[in-house]
Amino acid sequence: MAEPIGLGPRPAGMLRSLMSAAILASLAVMAAPTAMVMACSCAQMNREQALSNADIAFVGVVAAIDEPGIGPGFGGGPVRYTFAVEQTIKGELASRISVFYDVTSCSPEFGLAQRWRVNAYVAESRQLQSNLCSGNELLAEGVPIPASSPSALTLPPLGVLIAFGVGLVVAGFSVWAFTRSARGAS
């Protein structure tokens, strides 16, 4: 029986050459530089459509940025941007509010001292959130950050207030008991 053409025994040198070429190609692919690619696109909408989709809309200056983890684009959780609100467009807002962005969801990066028109929504977590598709608009850069107003005073958490109150009661009782025992001893 005759062997099919081209499928006969191969010389050992040719097999080594093919394996060497395959190994070199694999190493070249592994050593090639890689880049992080994010496929983010949104349906184009005008300002009125973006506003109608928002629960809250305002013009404000980025006053603070709290970035967890490594930073935008690399995971690590939501970034909290604190805005000094200059103009309320939709909803009722305090003079300073926080808007959260999940860094893994193609979020724009607000910069400190930038003025933005922001459209946000109330998420299931009851936090204000926004994203690349919210129709936010950069209005100016290098804006002075407004100082906090006294009306924007925030109270400590309820647990801290309760602990402080209990401490005052215990301290008052201790003073009363000490003065009473001191009177009884004299």
Nearest to 62 by CA among 144, 175, 153: 144
Average pLDDT over residues 39-49: 78
Burial of 123 per CB tally in 10 Å (0-12, 13-18, 19+): middle
The pTM score is 0.55
% of the chain with per-residue pLDDT over 90: 30
Higher pLDDT, 29 or 64: 64
Nearest to 117 by CA among 54, 49, 45, 59: 59
User: Is-contact 121 130, C-beta < 8 A?
Assistant: yes
CA angle 70, 73, 79 (to 5 degrees): 65
Q: Please state which CATH number belongs to domain 47-140.
A: 2.40.50.120
User: Is-contact 103 72, C-beta < 8 A?
Assistant: yes
Nearest to 116 by CA among 92, 94, 141: 141
Quickly state the pLDDT bin for 2 (edges 50, 70, 90): low
pLDDT tens-digit map of 67-123: 765 544 455 577 899 999 999 999 999 999 999 886 655 656 789 999 999 999 998
Q: Which residues contact 135 (CB under 8 A, 6 or more apart)?
A: 45, 47, 49, 50, 51, 53, 54, 119
The whole-number pLDDT of residue 84 equals: 95
Higher pLDDT, 122 or 31: 122
Structure-token pair, residue 24: 């070199």
